[in-house]
Structure 1
Amino acid sequence: MKTNFLKNTAFMAIAMAGALCSAQQKNNYVLDFKDTGVKIQPTMYGIFFEDINLGADGGLYAEMVKNRSFEFDLPLMGWTQPNSDKLSLNNKSGYASIVNGKKSGNKNYARIDIKDDNGYSLINEGFRGMGIKEGDAYNVSILAANQEGNISKINFQFIDEAGAVVASSSVAPSSKEWKKYTTQMTASKTVAKGKLKVTFTGTGSIDVDIISIFPQDTWNNRPNGLRKDLVQKLYDLNPGFLRFPGGCIVEGRVLEQRYQWKKTVGNVDDRETMINRWNTEFDHRLTPDYFQSFGLGFYEYFQLAEDIGAEPLPILSCGIACQFNTGELVPLAELDPYVQDALDLIEFANGSASTKWGKLRTDMGHPKPFNLKLIGVGNEQWGPDYISRYKVFEKAIHGKYPTIKIVSGSGPMPEGEFFDYGWKQLKELKADIVDEHYYNNPEWFTSNVTRYDNYDRKGPKVFAGEYAAQSVATVSPENKNNWNCALSEAAFMTGLERNADVVNMTSYAPLFAHAEGWQWTPDLIWFNNLESYATPNYYVQKLYGTNAGTNLISITADGKPVTGQNGMFSSAVVDKANNEVIIKIVNTSGNAQKAGIKLKGGKIAATGKMIVLKNSNLNAENSFTQETVTPVENTIKTGKSSIDTEIPAYAFAVIKVKIS
């Protein structure tokens, strides 16, 4: 015991001495204004979107009614009839039957037989409830065909968790033919997990379909649009691109479940509902009620990209289902429809109204082309089967649209046999951009900050398309969006920025997660039915995206890049548009460190700004109740040819100074 005590005491003394030395450590850097010839691409920092974790239906797409068209595999999933017993001869209230009687993608509708208009109700639970805000207006719509009897009203009510009414309105069905009816409700109370209650005045039989509710206050006030607070968070990232619709959702567990963009455009009411591939993917988070209505389809994705100032990057199936599931292949001889989908998508985005698909875009309300420049072939497929299919796509796309840049893939891992094979083949094929994915622990990110230092400058460009530090292990439901993970990502991103001549695009993944409907963690933005919060990882992405600059310059320590010396990482850019120099410094050590930055070849203003993201607790997380890790901005004094400042422990700092 005594020996151990002495050993521990000695260790503590050494640690304290080391901490004191580290606290007094001054790091001497040289910031060289000499033009490196490397431009920061406008697409450098972007957004990856995938419909996982209720990211689309129940999230970004603001529809509040789950299974609004009765199209789920169990057509009444999400709906209840509390006073109905269809199997009882004594059923005195009424019941709903599902009729499969339409030829369009929306095939089902509900036939409601009302025996007692005081006893029957149809209730929808929403997506883990419905978030209802006091004073807000909600647009209600329904398709109805009054068949027989004297049903004079369809009544809508928002009810709270106890069943109390917090909003109500009604429509009067007037026709035996299908007709759309609309009304509006204004909430008298804020409810986190409300429901929609539908009742009827009169008795008889009525057909109903597409029972829909949207908040009136959507992004850009678009009817039936996107959730405003979530899009605002995307806009605030200042993204260079928007990649959609995924992710593994592009591939499908089988090819029949792949994402087919043509089924997601045109009349929203006619789009065919499909099971979401994350429905039963993970035993730890089974989500049997997860489907895709495609109300958020390719037209809406293009529109969103335009709204937030991002280049659209659609990803298409290459004819291989997810190789983690079935790996189902389309024979090469039968690949033409898949290739044609890619060519038609480019026409949809860029074609004039005189073309077939350009006319559809115009008819949907966007005569002006979306100016698509990028397209992805496959998500993260690997091996010879992928390469052989990529060749077919590349020949067809570049044969008709030579200026379109194609994003190809190197598989799901950042190293290994398939990764090496994919890169070798794609380099020989002179591919435009190769997508790399890495989910790993924080130590991997800090130790791989030099990953791209030795990549071939004449080879394909890199898209770091999916990455996120994992606090426990990849796919673990225990992963947290803690400060340790975010700090390691900030350090890693200095390496991405330093290698901007190779790395042209980067995006964290996944993007969204519903607090009660997630399958994968960590995620960039968390939300519930009423509100959302930004993670520490989000603020790292935002600080890079809003401080991207235009031209790379060098910052060195003893003539070498700052890649972990004393736990410090750094990169620097010039923003010619704003005449600023921007320095990013990450301190991964547990002690504040001084940074003395000597300027070479340029002078700066006497004052500047320093934005600091920090927390002394590496396990710190943000939440709905408190964001403990947020950027703080202060004014700093500088010399004309030097900057002397202190970088706090466990901190990511952005220094911005005007060039004089």
Structure 2
Amino acid sequence: MLPVSFVSLGLLAFTTVARAVTVSVSATASHPIPTTLWGQMYESGDGGLYGELLQNRAFQQVTPGTSGALNAWQAVNGATISVIKETVPVSPALPNALHVVIPSGRTGQVGFANTGYFGIKVTAGSTYTASFFYRFPTASSFRGNAVISLQTTGGQVLASTTAALSGAQTTWQQVTVTLNPTTTPSSTSNRFVIALDGAAASGQTVNFAMLSLFPPTFKNRPNGMRADIAQALVEMGPSFFRFPGGNNLEGGTVAQRWQWNATVGPLVNRPGRQGDWGYVNTDGLGILEYLQWCEDANMQPIMAVWAGFALGGTSVAEAALGPYIQQAIDQINFVIGDPTKSAPAALRASLGHPAPFALTYVEVGNEDFFAATSYVYRWKDFVNALKAQFPNLHFIATTNINNPVLTPKPTEYDVHVYQTPTWFAQNSFFYDSIARDGTKYFEGEYAAISTNSSDIFGSPATGRLTFPTMQSSTGEAAFMTGLERNSDIVFAAAYAPLLNHVSASQWTPNLVSFDAGAVYRSTSFYVQKLFSLNRGDQYIPSTLPSSTGTLFWSVVRATATQEIIIKVSNTVGTSAPLTFVLPFNTVASSGTVQVIQGSATTSNTPTNPNAAVPVTNSVSTGKTFTYNAPGFSVSVIRLVAH
């Protein structure tokens, strides 16, 4: 995901006066709604969805000896700590270690601490799993216990255990312990601490590597997902999960690209990589973890393969593409290959998943309109090779639609747009005019991010949103009614970006925000959830909204429950009446309506996380009924009709 708008359309005149509208609904469906329609797009996971609590846990991709290499680490009670390039690294992938010297003359516990990702949430009654590798660079007669603990920044011990360390251990030894807090502190300003008795360990030097701390994870997966964030995402009922990005796929250079084979197996074998947003990706959340997460959340993956372009501007020459195409083939074989015929598939089986994962869609690159000229040959060479190996897969192109013309002709395109709330409302008819020529579309990234059409990517002072607002969310909902209406050709759509740590925002707004202790569901989160959980399986034509209006709707049928589901977005502050005329023989006299509403600037924030949330009420219905859509609202009406 990059701060650009991919869809170039002229703005239409915008009417701000609501008027009564009669909506006549068809008796028959025009097309089935794809089961994949609503899902999620994801970039990277350290400090967020991925459950690891320690930041800079393995000193990956840092420069030894610098203060930056100690990011998130602190000395405790006079210890001397530094990051060194190990002479005997814990693994070829992890060359660095934490060098800890216990000085003479200290008493009490002396060691080091990690402050987590801007804090560590500690909950009484939960079990935390901690692990680390250690070795003594020079053999000594030291024998003693390391005290491993969770503490407040004020030094209150919340949980503690011990592990015996031996000075004779000059090769790497892994230690794993559990911590069971009995107190829940009022703050997340807590630390993970490893310390030795200062007097007993006086003068000792110990190196540490690959340190880790996990809370209970979603579905108790080892190396799994942070439970509260995962639960929020599952709550939306997504059908797909797009990974590993986005720009997270591409890398600033060819060497920094995401590589599936560097993200599998033991954590000590994962070198990590410099991410595209200024921080290091540990790759603890690797391809297997992504796929397991899709299974756990009942989503299908939409997986990208690197396609020869890095964000710094490098396009691999056509004659040099062979190894990268083979890496993409191996990546797909890891997911769906036969372990008896493919080494990557055999690796998958050895890691506990002999059966293939589900996979239908593979994205070839990301936002390749930035390198459209080279994408012509890169697309051709990648897709021809991949199609020959995997004829049943669908391959998604990432340039602008038919610009340039690609061969073979794409069966799917990924379209991205970041714009204003007004733009989204005005362009809800974008796909109505797209040719029905067999090509399908993935609205892979979209969000209303600013109220200033002349400076979409400016600061908040010029309109850039910090959190979604009811104005932005209703604009998105208007656009989504168009996606649903055109779901004969739009097979999938995802708001982006998905997640944001409020203590380290680099892009705003986001669908879900969080900090070390809590998750904050935005107004756009609830709009996505309303559409996803009320998607229906057949689209029902009705009187069309005005493309220049402020009121938008979509009608679908859920055949299993014999319900009609009507979604309405009112994109201005004035309430607006709609009269629905239903042609069915039997129509219930009442139904339910879920409504989220607020002022234009209403946002769910950490200080007011529930400023606007959906409320469910009963609504009078019938073959003809009128519904008054509140200002800046999204409504979902469900009623039995057949």
TM-score (norm 2): 0.89
Aligned residue in 2 for 1:160:
152
Question: What is the SS of the residue equivalent to 1:343?
Answer: helix
Aligned residue in 2 for 1:4:
none
State how 1:51-450 maps to structure 2 within 5 Å: 51=44, 56-74=45-63, 75-84=69-78, 97-102=84-89, 103-116=91-104, 118=107, 120-146=110-136, 147-174=139-166, 176=169, 177-187=171-181, 188-190=183-185, 191-201=187-197, 202-203=200-201, 204-215=204-215, 217-279=216-278, 290-322=279-311, 326-354=312-340, 355-382=342-369, 383-411=372-400, 421-422=403-404, 425-426=405-406, 429-450=408-429
Question: Structure 2 counterpart of 1:160, which letter?
Answer: T
Runs of 4+ aligned structure 1 residues displaced above 6 Å come to none
Sort the Cα spacing of 1:95 and 1:405 in 2 relative to 1 into closer, same or farther, 3 A.
closer
Is contact 2:425-2:550 (8 Å) kept?
no
Extract unaligned runs of 5+ from structure 2: 1-14, 64-68
Aligned-partner Cα distance in 2 for 1:62–1:85 = 29
Q: Which one of 596, 611, 616 corresponds to residue 613 of structure 1?
A: 596
Instruction: Report the Cα offset of residue 444 of structure 1.
Output: 0.8
Is contact 1:101-1:108 (8 Å) kept?
no
Aligned residue in 2 for 1:90:
none
State how 1:596-611 maps to structure 2 within 5 Å: 596-611=579-594
Instruction: Report the Cα offset of residue 471 of structure 1.
Output: 2.2
Aligned-partner Cα distance in 1 for 2:295–2:413 = 24
1:584 aligns with 2:567: yes
Question: What is the SS of the residue equivalent to 2:611?
Answer: coil
Extract unaligned runs of 5+ from structure 1: 1-17, 87-93, 280-289, 412-418
- The worse-fitting range, judged by mean Cα deviation, of 217-226 and 141-150 is 141-150
Aligned residue in 2 for 1:44:
37
Question: What is the SS of the residue equivalent to 2:433?
Answer: coil
- The worse-fitting range, judged by mean Cα deviation, of 334-343 and 179-188 is 179-188
Question: Structure 1 counterpart of 2:566, which letter?
Answer: I
Aligned-partner Cα distance in 1 for 2:22–2:70 = 67
Question: Structure 1 counterpart of 2:378, which letter?
Answer: R
Aligned-partner Cα distance in 1 for 2:220–2:258 = 28
Question: Structure 2 counterpart of 1:429, which letter?
Answer: P
Aligned-partner Cα distance in 2 for 1:602–1:408 = 45
- The worse-fitting range, judged by mean Cα deviation, of 574-583 and 541-550 is 574-583
Question: What is the SS of the residue equivalent to 2:229?
Answer: helix
Aligned residue in 1 for 2:631:
649
Aligned-partner Cα distance in 1 for 2:304–2:516 = 29
Aligned-partner Cα distance in 2 for 1:593–1:654 = 15
Instruction: Report the Cα offset of residue 657 of structure 1.
Output: 1.3
Question: What is the SS of the residue equivalent to 1:446?
Answer: helix
Q: Which one of 410, 426, 434 corresponds to residue 455 of structure 1?
A: 434
Instruction: Report the Cα offset of residue 429 of structure 1.
Output: 3.2
Instruction: Report the Cα offset of residue 546 of structure 1.
Output: 0.8
Aligned-partner Cα distance in 1 for 2:275–2:92 = 20
Deviations along 1:608-634, whole A, 9 cap, x unmatched?
A: 11111111x100100224311111111
Root-mean-square deviation over aligned CA pairs: 2.2
Question: What is the SS of the residue equivalent to 1:554?
Answer: coil
Aligned-partner Cα distance in 1 for 2:364–2:548 = 39
Instruction: Report the Cα offset of residue 601 of structure 1.
Output: 4.6
Question: Structure 2 counterpart of 1:400, which letter?
Answer: Q
Question: What is the SS of the residue equivalent to 2:339?
Answer: coil
Aligned residue in 1 for 2:66:
none
Q: Which one of 594, 598, 601 corresponds to residue 577 of structure 2?
A: 594
Question: Structure 1 counterpart of 2:393, which letter?
Answer: I
Question: Structure 1 counterpart of 2:570, which letter?
Answer: N
Aligned-partner Cα distance in 2 for 1:245–1:518 = 19
Aligned-partner Cα distance in 2 for 1:566–1:257 = 46
Aligned residue in 1 for 2:11:
none
Q: Which one of 587, 603, 611 corresponds to residue 628 of structure 1?
A: 611
Instruction: Report the Cα offset of residue 652 of structure 1.
Output: 0.9
Aligned-partner Cα distance in 2 for 1:100–1:272 = 17
Is contact 2:597-2:634 (8 Å) kept?
yes
Question: Structure 1 counterpart of 2:36, which letter?
Answer: T
Question: What is the SS of the residue equivalent to 2:417?
Answer: strand
Aligned-partner Cα distance in 2 for 1:657–1:99 = 67
Q: Which one of 443, 457, 482 corresponds to residue 495 of structure 1?
A: 482
Instruction: Report the Cα offset of residue 477 of structure 1.
Output: 4.4
Instruction: Report the Cα offset of residue 98 of structure 1.
Output: 4.5
Q: Which one of 445, 453, 474 corresponds to residue 466 of structure 1?
A: 445
- The worse-fitting range, judged by mean Cα deviation, of 108-117 and 505-514 is 108-117
Question: What is the SS of the residue equivalent to 2:50?
Answer: coil
Aligned residue in 1 for 2:500:
513
Aligned-partner Cα distance in 1 for 2:413–2:507 = 25
Question: Structure 1 counterpart of 2:177, which letter?
Answer: T
Instruction: Report the Cα offset of residue 366 of structure 1.
Output: 1.6
Is contact 1:566-1:589 (8 Å) kept?
no
Aligned-partner Cα distance in 2 for 1:200–1:362 = 41
Aligned-partner Cα distance in 2 for 1:138–1:105 = 26
Instruction: Report the Cα offset of residue 151 of structure 1.
Output: 3.6
Deviations along 1:96-127, whole A, 9 cap, x unmatched?
A: 75414335212222343434463632121211
Question: What is the SS of the residue equivalent to 1:555?
Answer: coil
Is contact 1:133-1:530 (8 Å) kept?
no
Aligned-partner Cα distance in 2 for 1:255–1:453 = 39
Aligned-partner Cα distance in 1 for 2:221–2:79 = 40
Instruction: Report the Cα offset of residue 361 of structure 1.
Output: 1.2
Instruction: Report the Cα offset of residue 476 of structure 1.
Output: 3.4
Aligned-partner Cα distance in 2 for 1:272–1:630 = 42
Aligned-partner Cα distance in 2 for 1:85–1:172 = 19
Aligned-partner Cα distance in 1 for 2:34–2:29 = 15
Aligned-partner Cα distance in 2 for 1:589–1:602 = 35
Instruction: Report the Cα offset of residue 31 of structure 1.
Output: 0.9
Instruction: Report the Cα offset of residue 231 of structure 1.
Output: 0.6
Instruction: Report the Cα offset of residue 85 of structure 1.
Output: 7.5
Question: What is the SS of the residue equivalent to 1:169?
Answer: strand
Deviations along 1:368-423, whole A, 9 cap, x unmatched?
A: 21121111111001222112100111101111111101111125xxxxxxx6623x
Deviations along 1:576-610, whole A, 9 cap, x unmatched?
A: 23322111111223222222111125532232111
Aligned-partner Cα distance in 2 for 1:170–1:474 = 54
Instruction: Report the Cα offset of residue 248 of structure 1.
Output: 1.0
Sort the Cα spacing of 1:602 and 1:343 in 2 relative to 1 into closer, same or farther, 3 A.
farther
Deviations along 1:108-157, whole A, 9 cap, x unmatched?
A: 22343434463632121211122223443311111223542314111122
Aligned-partner Cα distance in 1 for 2:283–2:487 = 36
Is contact 2:397-2:412 (8 Å) kept?
yes
Aligned-partner Cα distance in 1 for 2:258–2:549 = 47
Aligned-partner Cα distance in 2 for 1:151–1:77 = 30
Question: Structure 1 counterpart of 2:386, which letter?
Answer: I
Aligned-partner Cα distance in 2 for 1:257–1:72 = 11
Is contact 1:353-1:359 (8 Å) kept?
yes
Question: What is the SS of the residue equivalent to 1:242?
Answer: strand
Sort the Cα spacing of 1:430 and 1:498 in 2 relative to 1 into closer, same or farther, 3 A.
same
Sort the Cα spacing of 1:44 and 1:159 in 2 relative to 1 into closer, same or farther, 3 A.
same
Question: Structure 1 counterpart of 2:568, which letter?
Answer: I
Deviations along 1:310-342, whole A, 9 cap, x unmatched?
A: 1101112111112xxx21121111111111122
Is contact 1:144-1:179 (8 Å) kept?
yes
Aligned residue in 1 for 2:640:
658
Instruction: Report the Cα offset of residue 445 of structure 1.
Output: 0.6
Aligned-partner Cα distance in 1 for 2:32–2:412 = 16
